[in-house]
Amino acid sequence: MTDFPKNAEEARTDRDVTREELTETLDALGKKMDVKSRVNDTLDAKVDEASAKISEKVSEPAADKFRQGTEVVRANPLPVFAGVLALLVAIRLILRKRSS
């Protein structure tokens, strides 16, 4: 811990340094707490990676269609998420009926 400031100028300098450190800390915490942004960044990276792999394996027109589809999903992910969730629920119900 530093010594107590001896004059007003040292106190102001200490205050300013402390404010900068707090601002940096709060910015870092804010970025960690912004889960939605972090998930979107991770999702974008995974989709780009998948697009690159698909482009290597399929023809260029098919790769273009896949890219267009990913852009549609990125622009409006809620209906796609709802559709996937509904599909998973339907599969679960079908499996439950078959097991009983």
For 58-100, the pLDDT digits (tens) are 888 888 888 888 788 778 878 878 888 999 999 999 998 888 7
Tokens found for residue 35: 């889960």
pLDDT 10s digits, 9-41: 888 998 999 999 999 999 999 888 888 888 878
**Does the predicted TM-score (pTM) go above 0.75?**
no
Report the alpha-carbon distance of residue 34 to residue 27 in Å, rounded: 11
Contact 70/47 with Cβ under 8 angstroms?
yes
Alpha-helical regions (H) of the chain? 8-33, 35-57, 60-75, 77-99
Which two structure tokens, joined as six digits, stand for 28?
A: 């870092």
Structure tokens, 38: 């972090």
